[in-house]
Amino acid sequence: MIRLGVNIDHLATLRQARYRVPIPGVVPEPDPVPAALLCLSAGAHSITVHLREDRRHIQDDDVLRLGRECREKLNLEMAATPAMLDFALRLRPAEVCFVPENRAEVTTEGGLDAVAKINSLRPMIQKLHQANILVSLFLDPDPRQIDAAAALQAPVVELHTGSFADASPTERPTHFAKLKSAAEQAHHLKIQVNAGHGLRLSNLSDLLSLPHLHTLNIGHSLVAHAINVGLEQSVRDFLQAITKK
C-alpha cells in the first residue's frame, strides 16, 4: 500500500499572508498544528513541513509543537546547513529530508545536487543516523544522484516529480520513464522510494504504477482541494485516489 504524507506548508502560507507581523491580542489563523492532527486522524500516514531559512511559512514554533504532538510521524524538510542540522538534532523528528533552497523561488524548483554536495552531506547524514533519524534526499530522477545517495548511505530518496506533474499528456510518458528508471535503481540499491512535488488528483493515476513506491508527499494541491471540500475530506479523497492503484 502506498502511503500518503501531507505537506502543510501552505496552511502556514495562508496564515503568514495576514499575520507575518503579530497583532496584539489576536491568535493567528489557520494554525497548522491542529490541521496536521486532523490530517492524521483522517488517515494520512505522516506530516511534512519545510522549515525554510527565510521562514516564509512554517515557523520554528510550529515545528516544535508538531514535535510534541506527532514526532513519530513528522518529516522535516530542510536545507543542508549547520544551523538546520542543529535544529533537527534537538527536535529529533522521525525523518529529515534534505532539500535545496533558493530564496528567489516560489517553491522548491528541483532536486538536491547530492553529487556536488557529497562531502558536506556525509557528516550531516552520519550525525542524523546516530540520532536514529531516518534520512531522505529529495532528488531529480538522475542516475548520478541515486548513486550519490547510495554512497552517502541515505536510506530513502524522494523523487522530484515536478517535471512529470507539469508535463503535457504527450510528454508525460518520457518523464515517467525517468522516474521508473530511478525508482528501479534505488530499489536495487536497497533505498526506499518516495515521491512528491506538483502531484494533483488529476495526475496521480498516471504515477501510481511507479514501481517500489512507498510514500507520496503532497501539499499544495491537497490544501487547495480542502478549500472546496474541507481538510479531512481532502485527505480522504487523496487516499482514495492512491488506493485505486
- Active-site pick, 45, 57, 197, 225: 197
> Which is the catalytic residue, given 50, 57, 160, 175?
50
Q: Could you tell me which residues come within 8 angstroms of residue 238 by beta carbon, excluding any fewer than 6 positions away?
A: 4, 201, 204, 218, 222, 225
* Alpha-carbon gap, residue 99 to 49, rounded angstroms: 12
Structure letter (DSSP) for residue 204: G
Sign, CA torsion 213/206/178/166: negative
Tell me if residue 69 is catalytic: no
Catalytic residue among 10, 45, 57, 77: 77
| Residues 141, 176: Cα–Cα separation, whole Å | 10
Instruction: Please confirm, yes or no, whether 175 is among the known catalytic residues.
Output: no
Q: Kindly provide the b/e burial profile for residues 226-244, where b requires at least 16 CB atoms within 10 angstroms of the residue's own CB.
A: beeeebbebbbbbbebbee
* 158 a catalytic residue: no
Residues in Cβ contact with 206 at an 8 Å cutoff, skipping those fewer than 6 apart: 164, 172, 176
What 165-170 contacts at long range (C-beta under 8 Å, 24+ apart), as own/partner pairs, is 165/197, 165/198, 165/199, 165/200, 165/203, 166/198
Q: Which residues are catalytic?
A: 50, 77, 197
